[in-house]
Structure 1
């Protein structure tokens, strides 16, 4: 298969009319002798690093290449030519608040319908936060949480599942699980830095449990924080962002997705599953881009508009719940730090966890 994510005709039409959001969950691969990757990079595509021209040296998995580099999101490259960007995110003016919330609700339901059409045996990676809870509720699929026994995510998932009247499968971790998984995850994502490995590990480990139970796909809530204003920095407008408005800061976060998503996709694929991200459907992205500042974030509530839609489907306590980043909520980051120190990589060393990960790959 030389194209993933959609059919060739959809890509051809998107190229012809310059449509960046043609109604897909992302795509990448080869169409009519041209390499393509969607505007948000939702499907990973790799080429040989340093190559001046796109040719036969490309792959969906980085391990298939000698020195892989991500093909630029939103770009096209014909054989013998350098990649050129042909799609950029739309810049619509903010819509009327009630109208855009109706559009967002409708787009979310369309995304779920599109997932169901594929008739996959699917489970949901569930942290108890609003993102994964909404995906779980709309899909009505089994829910799994991963974490160490005393972790925030396990407790939050249990209370959210109780509030939703759902049965929860808890994948409890122990340090040996991380030791075994770290080299597998690092090779799959082609990254060894502590942050990326810490984020990918919970996805991989919950995916392994889901795959053992006979499922084909893992649904995730990825993208909600970037699309809807889930980060503190978009409210503070501090040194971490260049924008001067909340809406501009959210847009900066969306532009970070092409670098982040391949990590998450590869972690789930390495577990033997197909990743499914309903919140990253083109229609949902388009609606998110139309949200005014007051439906994004402020000092009191982040992801305000998204939570308003979610509250139509979820108990209020779940729809309004804040969450921790997965590497911290699962306590994977804490345990990675502990393993690194036990192996002799002390905190006084620069990037001591990254050095520990590198040592496992060399073993």
Structure 2
């Protein structure tokens, strides 16, 4: 008997979004199958606790790829390991498993820039606060780095905050300062070399990736998630999406002079970074679920995305400041010192990238070798 198995949205919402080609039907992202047949594994009812899948039907993934889903011939699953040759469904696409058709249904709108700065900032403030304050606190912990993104997430919920990093890392120091300013319960996961060595194979098994960038990003997330899970929490609120939506990357500031982007405007470069989200979120979601928690990403809610897309370039990034509109929206919500704080990417702020490099060199993989950290990562996997 055909049925619908979805994560992130009710079938009626997805069917209406398909009919209207509406990329933002009021969800935090969705994926799954409509009119699917026999299950590959036990059906979790779309709750995110199992690996529901099936044969036949239409497999969908939202416009930003916030929920990963995979196909293999006539079969599909939320977990790539359940399929022989898994292929991720592209963001905004619908795959018909019976015919093999793979069509783009939803596309990211190209809004003109909002000319009223105050209205643009207020739209961001309203959307962010509604989203973070709408998160259910039950079983929830917060991944907290002390930056404006995770601080806004933490401001809307009653949940403990967790940070992972080596003892002298920027993230641990920043999180302690921000948690004190916000009067929040902070639990520090102080990392060691043994933690990294032990966790690398789990990260690779969950994500299927061995490149140092992906592994370095996923490691602190996984180690925070595992500690939160050990403390009894089943859900982890994260600040993912803020850098991409609001201009948090250095390459967005002067794109015409930066080889890392093709665009020559701030808004064009921001769009390029938004389009990287599906692959990033696939890594993060799979890693966090493997660690035993369900990710919650309120800054990727449809209402936040709708508010972010029309921002003019000077409310995204300037020579002096990045995530301009988000920081203005955070004023009065989080302490001024936190709203203005500058943050490093997690693999650098936690010092995980630095210490992976050190471990690789200690193991004999010198920097003169091509991909010496990647070789070290793969050696740890081979040892398990």
TM range (shorter): over 0.9
* Residue in 2 that maps onto 1:159: 177
Q: Superposition pairs for residues 149-298 of structure 1, below 5 Å?
A: 149-237=167-255, 238-298=258-318
Q: Secondary structure at the match of 1:35?
A: strand
Which of 100, 108, 111 aligns to 1:89? It is 108
Which structure exhibits the higher relative contact order, with contacts defined as CA atoms closer than 8 Å and separated by 6 or more residues?
1
* Residue in 2 that maps onto 1:51: none
Which of 130, 146, 168 aligns to 1:128? It is 146
Q: Secondary structure at the match of 1:272?
A: coil
Does the 8 A contact of 2:8 with 2:67 survive in 1? Answer: yes
* Residue in 1 that maps onto 2:127: 107
Per-residue deviation, residues 210-260 of structure 1 (Å, max 9, x unmatched): 001101100010100000000111112111111121111111110110111
Change in Cα spacing, 1:80 to 1:114, as seen in structure 2 (3 Å) is: farther
| 1:36 partnered with 2:55 | no
- Find the aligned partners of 2:130 and 2:149 in 1 and give their Cα distance: 16
> Which structure features the higher share of helix residues?
1
Following superposition, the deviation at residue 2 of structure 1 comes to 2.3
Following superposition, the deviation at residue 97 of structure 1 comes to 1.7
Per-residue deviation, residues 149-208 of structure 1 (Å, max 9, x unmatched): 111110111111111122211111111011110000111011000000000000000000
Change in Cα spacing, 1:113 to 1:315, as seen in structure 2 (3 Å) is: closer
| 1:322 partnered with 2:346 | no
TM-score (norm 2): 0.90
Corresponding pairs, count: 355
* Residue in 1 that maps onto 2:155: 137
- Find the aligned partners of 1:239 and 1:357 in 2 and give their Cα distance: 28
Q: Secondary structure at the match of 2:163?
A: strand
- Unmatched tracts of structure 2, length 5 or more: 36-56
Q: Secondary structure at the match of 1:171?
A: strand
Does the 8 A contact of 2:133 with 2:156 survive in 1? Answer: no
- Find the aligned partners of 1:59 and 1:342 in 2 and give their Cα distance: 40
Following superposition, the deviation at residue 318 of structure 1 comes to 0.5
- Find the aligned partners of 1:42 and 1:181 in 2 and give their Cα distance: 24
TM-score (norm 1): 0.95
Does the 8 A contact of 2:146 with 2:338 survive in 1? Answer: yes
Following superposition, the deviation at residue 80 of structure 1 comes to 2.0
| 1:67 partnered with 2:113 | no
* Residue in 1 that maps onto 2:38: none
Does the 8 A contact of 2:7 with 2:32 survive in 1? Answer: yes
Which of 332, 335, 348 aligns to 1:312? It is 332
| 1:336 partnered with 2:356 | yes
- Find the aligned partners of 1:65 and 1:255 in 2 and give their Cα distance: 26
Following superposition, the deviation at residue 8 of structure 1 comes to 0.5
Change in Cα spacing, 1:66 to 1:81, as seen in structure 2 (3 Å) is: closer
Following superposition, the deviation at residue 339 of structure 1 comes to 1.5
- Find the aligned partners of 1:104 and 1:85 in 2 and give their Cα distance: 28
Q: Secondary structure at the match of 1:115?
A: coil
* Residue in 1 that maps onto 2:368: 348
Per-residue deviation, residues 286-340 of structure 1 (Å, max 9, x unmatched): 1100111121110001000000011120111110111011011111111111111
Following superposition, the deviation at residue 68 of structure 1 comes to 2.2
- Find the aligned partners of 1:329 and 1:357 in 2 and give their Cα distance: 20
- Unmatched tracts of structure 1, length 5 or more: 49-53
Following superposition, the deviation at residue 113 of structure 1 comes to 4.2
